[in-house]
Structures are given as C-alpha cells and as structure tokens.
Amino acid sequence: MYNINVRGPVIQGNKDCHQVTEDICNPLDTKPGKWWNITFIISLVALGVGAWGIYYTMHDGLGTWGLNNTVNWGYGIINFVWWIGIGHAGTAFSIFLLVLGQKWRTSINRAAEAMTVAAVFCAGFFPIIHMGRPWLAFFVFPTPNTRGPLWINFNSALTWDVAAIPTYLMASALFWYIGMIPDFATIRDRTTSKVKKAIYGFFSFGWVGSSRDWLRYETLSWLVGGLMAALVVSVHSIVAMDFASSIEPGWHTTIFPPYFVVGAILSGFSMVLTLVIIMRKVYHLEDYMTNSHINAICKILVFMSLIMGVGYTTEIFISWYSGNEYEMFTFFHNRITGDFTAAFWIMLVSNAIIPQLFWFKKIRKNMTIVFLISLTINLGMWFERYVIVVTSLTKDIMPANWAEYSPSLVEICLFIGTLGFFVLCILLFFRYIPMIAISEIKGVLKQSQVKTNTKNN
C-alpha cells in the first residue's frame, strides 16, 4: 500500500480539483505543437510503407517473404509475440495495481491501457497476414459448415490463440473505455464546441456523477478487472504453448508459459516507462507523473529482469543437464556461440544485465538514462523473440532441413507499418482523450489532502 505520510503525496504542486481538470484537459483544448504534426506525418508515411507491404503480399503471395520450408515462422510471428508482450503491460499495470490498492497507478494507467489496445491491434494483424489468404480466415472458427468432417484441431494452441487474442482485445478496450466515461462527461460539460459536446456526450452515456453512477462504475471496474487479471496470464501462456507444444530443439520446455508472461510484463512495462517519460516532458506533467512514479516502475523492471535472467540461466542449465545433443547444439552452438551469437547476447545483456542499473538511485533519477534503458529493454525483448523463433527453425533435428533465413523487404515494411500505426494511435490518444484519469486523480488528491491535514493536526 502506498503510504502518503511516509512517501509523500502522489500528486505534487498543491493542486485543487479545478487545477487538475485544467491541467489534464489543456492539451485537448490547444492546438498540437510542431512535434505532434511532424510525428503524425512520419507515422502516416510508415503506415503507407506498411500498406505497400500488404498490397505486395496480397498480390504476389507469401513468396515475397523470406520464408522457406524450414523457417515458415518468420518476422510475422516474431513481431506478433513482441506486440502481444507490449500489449500486456497496460492491463497488467492497471489490473494488478488496482487489486493491490496502489494509488500511484492513477497517473499512468490511462496511457498504459491506450498502449495496450493499440499494441494488440498490431499483434493481431500478423497472424492474419501470415495466413497468406486472409479472406479464408473464417475457416479457423468452429462454426457449422459444408466441409463435412473437416474441423479445426481443438487441441492446437494456435486454435486457442484465435479465441484468446480477440477476447483480450475486447476486454482491454472495454476496461479502457469504462475508465474514460467520467472524463468524457467532464469534457462534455466544460467545452463550448457543439460538435465536441455532442461527441463526448454520446460517449459519456449520460453520466451525471450521481451516487448510483459511481457505485455502478466502481463495481463494473472491479468485475472487469478481476476477470482481466486471469486473462493477462492465460493469453501469453497460450502464446507460449504455440512453441512449447512442439518438439523443436529450444522450444520443447515447460518453462515457456511463465517465461513468456514475465517477458511480456518486462517489455510492456518498459514501453509504459518510455511513454510516460515522453508525456511528462512534452506536456509538462511532472506534478502528476512524478519521480516517485518513475522510481516505482524502475523497481518493477529490476524484479522482472531478475526473473528473466533466472529463466535464461534455467534454459541453458536444463539443456546441458538433460544431455540431449539437439538441445545442447541449439543453445551452445547456435545461440551462445554460432550464427546467432550477436542476437543472443544482445537479448541477454539488454534484458537481464542492463536493467540491473536501476538498483542505483542516481540512475533512477536521471530521466535520460532511464529513457535509454527502457528503449534498450524494448530492443532486447524483440531480439528474444527473434532468437526463439529463428535459431530453432533454421537448424532443427534434421541437418538436411537446415536453411538460412533473412527477412525480405516486404516483411520489414509490414513491421514498419505496425510501428507507424502504433505511433499514430498514441498521437490521437494524446490529442483527443485525457492522458490521465481525471476522476481517479481527484480521488487520490482528496485522500492526500485528508491524510496531510490529519498529520498536521
């Protein structure tokens, strides 16, 4: 529990409720700066690059990718798992800290949840385009059909992915939207624009702020949050089973589900940290996203990084202890040494070693270093997915099947397109939705004032 009397107020600057509303709504009322317009144009260009990749894939087929008979999971699945990991952060951040009663989450949860929705959209794109013929995607749904006894394999983890990802997307979007209803009503009541009043009034569902409204709001938030807590763990465990249920060297291990979940939280929280540092710097929200918030996220990243280090060590030890020559070759001659040495060590250093710098308080207070470390973790987690997918598939049990893999220009363009889409979504979030939960901040502000007055008396 966050003890305000010991650790200081969550919100700095002696704000009152009116100041909170003005500070948070100000970016919605003013025109965006040049940085927003430039970034918006860049994201549109990146999105156009991705659109070209989609067209080329649809027109000429998956032969335009760098895939072969051995490496039939390429950039598509690497980026899918990476985006899913990032998409776990917002929900995990909001749900787990909500259940644990951590009040400092109120300044960050809105941005984390927005990031989740955008990232899951990016993740869902890759399995669809990887099918080669997305217009036949309905075949994977267990619906009555005319194909006779031909049904999907309900024992396959890939089948459960189809159910888990849309479920997670809908639940995350619902949880995000529920939290914004009181804020939409606030914007509706303070705006002078008839268009904005109509739009925000529609999305606020007639919110009036009565006791009945708040009772139902809080009850629904806890119910959806409780259901989402289990979903956060199950979704990435299912993604892990896409790999662990096979017999490929480097994949056939029971550690994958918890290993993937922890990795998702590490990559997601690092992306949250990146986003928070940008928001507080650009929009001058240092009083709401304080050094204490950054400090808390850094401590979580240290803990998750330690678990990831244990996971890497466990994998290597088990491959040696098992005496399985295929596992030993994958880890010792194809990852630690061999063709993918650079990717493996970038992964290990970025995810398990560099985050340990957060043990030092001076590092946690230096926003530039913290920002660079958060980017390094994001890079390292991408290389983790690359190492897992490519090293096991390029050199499997049968040497006759070995084949090199390098992504084609089309694959790279598709990934650039999802980056552009993600940045575009975040920019629109900055522009049209309160970046911080106004109602929750006011609740924390009131509690802080009460505790401070009690201490003074």
Q: What is the C-alpha to C-alpha distance for residues 185 and 206, in angstroms, rounded to an integer? A: 8
Distances, alpha carbon 443 to alpha carbons 106, 128, 156, 290, 292, in Å? 9, 42, 46, 17, 18
Q: What is the C-alpha to C-alpha distance for residues 442 and 437, in angstroms, rounded to an integer? A: 9
- Tell me if 255 sits within 8 A of 336, measured CB to CB: no
DSSP 333: I
DSSP 339: T
pTM summary value: 0.89
Look up residue 400 and give its two tokens.
């006759």
Q: How far apart are the first and last CA of the chain?
A: 23
| Location of structure tokens 């466990």 | 314
Gyration radius from the chain CA atoms: 23
pLDDT digit string (tens) for the chain, length 457 residues: 455 555 566 777 777 788 888 888 888 888 888 899 999 999 999 999 999 999 999 888 888 998 888 888 888 889 999 998 888 777 777 777 776 767 777 788 888 888 888 998 999 899 888 888 888 777 777 777 676 666 777 777 777 888 888 888 888 888 888 888 888 998 888 888 888 889 999 998 888 888 888 888 888 888 887 788 788 888 888 888 888 888 888 888 778 888 888 888 888 889 989 998 998 888 888 888 888 888 888 998 999 999 999 999 998 998 899 888 888 999 998 899 988 999 999 999 999 999 999 999 999 999 999 999 999 999 999 999 999 999 988 988 888 888 888 899 999 999 999 999 999 999 999 888 888 888 888 877 765 554 444 444 4
Nearest C-alpha neighbor of 360 from the set 297, 280, 290, 299: 299
Kindly tell me the sign of the dihedral angle through the C-alpha atoms of 304, 309, 311, 312: positive
Provide the residue count of the chain: 457
Domain spans of the chain? Answer: 15-131+156-447
- Tell me if 310 sits within 8 A of 356, measured CB to CB: no
